[in-house]
Amino acid sequence: MKAIAPYLGAALVLLGLLDVYFTVLFSRSGVGLLSPYVQSSLWRLVRAAAKASPRLRDRVLSHAGPALLSLVALTWVVLLLVGFGLVFWPQLGSGVRVDGADAARPGFNLALVYSGYNLTTLGANSMTPQTPLTHWLSVAEAGCGLGLFTLMLTYILQVYNAVLRMNHLALKLHHSSAENPDAAEMVARLGAGGDFSGARGELATVAEDLLEFFESHHFYPAITYFRFAEAEYAAPRMVLLAMDAVTLIRTGLDGDGCDHLDRSEAVAELHTAGMHFLKEITQTLLPAAFQPGRLPAPDAAELERWRRRYRRALERFGAEGIRVTADPQSGAERYVRMRREWDAHVKALARFLVRDWKEVAPHEAAL
């Protein structure tokens, strides 16, 4: 066993360092040697525990994000600790001098202790390297440990900063719709009294914030697992508000009456960014069982609910003095076509994050 221990240890150290590199320094969705599998495995366990105790569902799931970061960090530490321990194990008593009571038990446990001292840069008085190889290996492990803890701290801070920005955007969208998660209300407030003169700037700001939100998921997929009990922080609701607002603007408003907001760059940016995010997150994050293609196609009853939702949105616009399309029937069909492009993706994300649709879109529950 001691003959192959250094090679196995080197492989573990390389695996740990490469995973740190891909997770922290080359952060991209779906990229990583080990962390993505650790994250998805823990999420499956947490989801199973939440489903086993429905009354504690939200409380259990709210710990997934912090637990996931802790487990990933612990995995990196263990890989380096055990890896270097395996490398040093054959060197105990020769390449590494062991003094005192430890000299009588130079086993693998002692190699782990020596590795731990090096990794944490504490140093061990009773164990000292004797050869150039063990000297340099000790220095290398100390350097890896210093770099590891620095990068871990950086990564955790970046993830929590991204979560903070995500929550800020969620509350911004929540309040923009008068704390009613209905995109029709948000659009109506943008064009209060039929005046859309400031809507482009508002939508451009929302589009910029959404792009940052989407890119944060691209860089740090771990933030997806930060699932808070309050539904207003739910990512599916945020994306639904953005995509439904774009769809209603493009299909329900009169172009001349809304200063051609439907063809503005801000609306186009919202639509493009939303679709890009939904397609990427379903391809790189959602397991096969949660892919949109596994959901049943909308039946006639569902399509009719969408049409009723569209008609209700037009009524809200009209009550606000907003000019709507001259052909509501044609607009309803265009709304249905556009919604079919993104609705299944949002529902797949909601299923994955254990969000009931009535939490994501309570305004559609009574349709």
Q: pLDDT by residue (tens digit) across 29-83?
A: 666 788 888 988 999 999 999 988 888 999 999 999 999 999 999 999 999 999 9
> Residue 163 domain-assigned?
no
Are 9 and 87 in contact by the 8 Å Cβ rule? The answer is: yes
Distance CA(112)–CA(104), nearest Å, equals: 16
Find the helix or strand (DSSP H, E) in which 128 lies.
Answer: strand 127-129
- Whether 231 and 282 map to the same domain: the answer is yes
Domain shared by 250 and 323, yes or no: yes
**What's the CATH number where 66 sits?**
1.10.287.70
Q: Which of 96, 121, 153 is the last residue of a domain?
A: 153
- The answer to whether position 171 is within a domain reads no
* Together in a domain, 205 and 326: yes
Indicate whether 70 and 143 sit together in one domain: yes
Q: What pLDDT does residue 29 have?
A: 61
190 and 310 co-located in one domain: yes
Q: For residue 159, tell me if it sits in a domain.
A: no
Q: Are residues 23 and 135 in the same domain?
A: yes
pLDDT at 163: 93
pLDDT value for 102: 64
The residues near 347 (Cβ < 8 Å, ≥ 6 apart) are 236, 292, 295, 357
If asked whether residues 149 and 193 sit together in one domain, one would say no
220 shares its domain with 346: yes
Task: Give the amino acid at 119.
Answer: L
Residues 100 and 206 in one domain: no
Ranges of the chain whose pLDDT falls below 50 = none
| pTM for the model | 0.85
Segments of 180-266 assigned E as strands: none
Q: Domain containing 184: what range? A: 177-364
Instruction: Mark 125-148 as b/e (b = at least 16 C-beta within 10 Å).
Output: eebebeeeebeebbeebbebbeeb
Instruction: Considering only CA atoms, give the Rg of the chain.
Output: 27
